[in-house]
Structure formats: structure tokens, C-alpha cells
Amino acid sequence: MSISAKSRAYIYGSVAFGAISLATTGAFAACTGPGAPTNTQTRCLTAIDLQGLPLKSYDISFVNPQRAEYYLADRSNSGIDIIDTQHLTFKRRIPGFIGFTGSNDTSGPDGVVTHGRWLYAGDGNSTLKVIDLDAPTASAIKQTVSTGGTNRVDEMDLTTDGKILLAANNADTPAFATLFRANGDAGTSNVTIISKITIDPTILPPGNSIEQPAWDPTTQRFYTSLPVIANNPPGCNPSGPAPTVTCDGGLLVTDPAQVTPGTYTQGAYNPVTNTGVIKLHACGPNGATVGVHDNLLLGCTPANNGSDITTLVINATTHNYANIANIVGSDEVWFNKGDGRYYTASNRNCKPGVSPCPTAAQQAAVLGVIDSTSVLIETIPQSSGSHSVAADSKRNLIFVPESAPGAGGDTTTVGAGICGTNNGCVAVYKHDVDEDDEHHDHDDDHGHDHDH
């Protein structure tokens, strides 16, 4: 996605859970309205107040099921919000981030990922912050590492052992990624940069973006979404706002073992090394997540190419793919190995039968639910701008931030109905696997939650 397209994509009582009661304020009761239908398999359970300024600017979220914690990059409150996923309560906020500056390109926090006690988060000044989750709030940030760029460190992912981290500077020109040596299970922080990763400019012209990476433990590769690449198909236009872009996106395959120190440039896909840029068809992806059988679901969106109105699943080994109809417009996507389902935060989902769909009137924000066989199960309305989702695989809870209403926030009544307040919230959805007939492999180690 171009930098301007990325900016447009974002700028636009009591509830009981077991013995827990979460108080809400405002004129609404939580989990009511179109975002809490009674005929869906994925049910709205409750809403968690983040105890700060109204939530209008936020980015990526992550769950560490082993710690029973959910983490949200909350730019409205300039910190990382931490929610207890067992008791469904707000725990604390890690401050020290830039917050929302008026431009997503320079705001933070942005991408987040965890392994064990360590949380890694990108900030708007091109730095990676390393947070010790076992430390007191005031001293939690243990390192701030500059990537040498101008704009934000955005989405990121870790290897399964937590020792290698890949993070994208999506808003720099040219966009680049940074490969870090991370902390793993160490007791002290010693994060260092291994290499800056660039892409051949004939494939990724300046002004185009690098988005969400996903680590695949089977192939031992990072797979990173590229919203738009040149000459895909030949003669297409890779530049400008979404209505003028006619190029599809790509998938960058990176083997950390082959990355050379300093600066490492990747080109077209090489089947011998299993690295480089794979051309995609009918998809300009933002999100990426690894599911069962070595399949990756990519969060395609018409914000990148208005004609791309399906979601794509591609096999990491064979590169065979399937397009899923009636769900598109996703940013973060997540595979929950607890129920074997993909969840998409789709803030630009096209209305059925509309192609292309570049205008807001032709789109709606939904939570997409897709099973492991790439079948769309349901879509559930969300606040406008909804683009973040994460799931707790141990408890089969799905967490979706809801924008507060007003200028720069929700332009519908959906978020307020889900939250039970006008301050925004994190909605909690529950999928009870005992209530349906699906059968899943709960021992599969794939998926974006990784149990880091």
C-alpha cells in the first residue's frame, strides 16, 4: 500500500463472565446492536474499558496465551494496553510511546509481538522498544533500538524460539525491514540489529509498502505481505491512490539463515533458495498469518488495489492458492489454533456484488471468521476503521478493538453498542467449539499466536 493509502485505511450496565462482572458506563449496554448478533457462532461476550482517553487511534494487537495477556498498540493513550485474558480485566498500560501525531506514518506504538517475558513494539520515530513484562510499569522499557529510518517501525513477528525478530518500516521511502537478534528466553535484554532488508526497487518501487510478517516454523521462513509490486501483471500501474493502482501484491520470503549482516537486498522469488518475492494474483495484502497444513492466509484489501475483492490463502510450500469470496479489506489477520479458525479485521469489506469498491459507501467493517479449509463462516459488524484482531488459543477468546465515536473514530453506532460506552473498548468474542460440529487438530503449532 502507498503511504497515503495506509493513512486513509486507518483514519477512517454490567456483563457477566462466570464470576466476573465488568462495569460499563454510558447510555448503552455492552454487546448489543449489530455487532452482537444472536445467530452467529462467534458470540460477543463482553467489552473491556481501557481506562484512558477515548480509543480513536490504535494499531496491531497480540495475545500471549501462556501469560494470559492481550496487548494493544494504543496510540490514543501513547502506550501498550495489557488485558488479563483469563479474568477479562484491564491490567495496566506501558507508557513511553509517541502516541498519535496526526499521521499514522509517525505515530506509535504500532506493531507488537511477544515471547515469554519480552514484548517488542514499534514506535513512530523508527525505533523498536523492548519491554520486560515482568518489570514494574515505570521501568518496563529496557531498550530502545533505532532502525535508522525516518518513520515508524510497524508490524513484526518472531521465530518460534523468540530469538529472531523481523520488523517492517512500512512508511519509509523506500520501505525496508530490519532483522534483529532478539532475547528468546534470556533474563536480560540484549537486542541487536543483524541486517537491514531491502527489496529490489524494480519490484518494490519507492512509495510502496512492506506490511505484516508471519513466521512459518515448517519452512523456517518469514512471509511478509507486500501490498503492491511492480509488473504484476506486466504493464500495471503500481503508484498513486488505490483507484489508480492496477498492480497486485506480493509475498516476500526471507530465510534468516541466508541474511547477510549489514544490508541484504531481496529480489524475485528463487525456488532453489526458497527466498524472494512471490507474485500474487487478485490480492494486495496487508495482513499475514500461518494456519494448518502450512497455509498462509493473507489479508487482502481494496485499499491497495480496488479490484482485489477476495481474501487469499496460499500454501507456503507449493504456492498453490485459493481465493475466499465475500470477505476482504483486512489489515491484521490471525489464526487461532485453539478452534482452527482464521479471524480477519476487515475495515474495508466490500458489499456483495460491488467491484471495485474504493469508496467508503461501498464498504463496511467486519470481523471475518474463516475455517481451516478456507470457507467463510460468518462476518460480524464492527466499528468503522476496525483493523486489529488477536485470539487467545487456550480460551478461544477473540479480541477486537472498537473505535470510539466522533471525529477520527467510529462513524457508526456499532462500536458504542458493542462497548456499552462512547469511549471505545476491546470487544471480547467467544467461540465455543463444543457447540458446533467441527473437528480440529489442537496440537498444530502453526498460527500467528505461536504461543510465544
Give the 3-state DSSP-derived string for 153-186, with helices as H, strands as E and coil as C: CCCEEECCCCCEEEEEECCCCCCEEEEEECCCCC
Cα 11 from Cα 182, distance rounded (Å): 32
pLDDT at 233 over 60: yes
Q: How many CB atoms lie within 10 A of CB 10?
A: 21
Say what the pLDDT of residue 17 is: 34
Q: What does the DSSP 8-state code read for residue 403?
A: P
pLDDT at 29 over 90: no
The pLDDT confidence band at residue 66, using thresholds 50, 70 and 90, is very high
**Grid cell digits, residue 403:** 473505535
Query: Residue for cell digits 495475545?
Result: 63
Q: Is the dihedral of CA 289, 291, 295, 299 positive or negative?
A: negative
The pLDDT confidence band at residue 434, using thresholds 50, 70 and 90, is confident
Q: Could you give the percent of the chain with pLDDT greater than 70?
A: 89
What homologous superfamily does CATH list for 3-336+345-369+385-435?
YVTN repeat-like/Quinoprotein amine dehydrogenase (2.130.10.10)
Query: Residue for cell digits 488495489?
Result: 305
pLDDT at 3 over 80: no
Cα 320 from Cα 287, distance rounded (Å): 18
Residue among 329, 345, 341 at smallest CA distance from 430: 341
**Least reliable range by pLDDT among 53-57, 216-220, 302-306, 402-406:** 302-306
What distance lies between CA 386 and its chain's CA centroid?
11
Contact (CB, 8 A) for 116 and 452:
yes
Say what the pLDDT of residue 414 is: 95
Domain ranges of the chain: 3-336+345-369+385-435
Quote the mean pLDDT of the chain: 90
Say what the pLDDT of residue 122 is: 98
Contact (CB, 8 A) for 22 and 48:
yes
pTM above 0.85, yes or no: yes
pLDDT at 358 over 90: no
**Tens digit of each residue's pLDDT (9 = 90 or more) over 148-180:** 999 999 999 999 999 999 999 999 999 999 999
Say what the pLDDT of residue 408 is: 86
pLDDT at 15 over 70: no
Residue among 81, 100, 103 at smallest CA distance from 90: 81
E-assigned strand segments in 54-126: 58-64, 69-74, 79-84, 89-94, 112-115, 118-122
pLDDT at 356 over 60: yes
Cα 293 from Cα 443, distance rounded (Å): 12
Average pLDDT of the segment spanning 381-385: 94
**Tens digit of each residue's pLDDT (9 = 90 or more) over 183-203:** 999 999 999 999 999 999 999
Transcribe 274-293 into DSSP letters. Answer: TBEEEE-SS--EEEEEE-GG
Cα 390 from Cα 379, distance rounded (Å): 16
The pLDDT confidence band at residue 432, using thresholds 50, 70 and 90, is confident
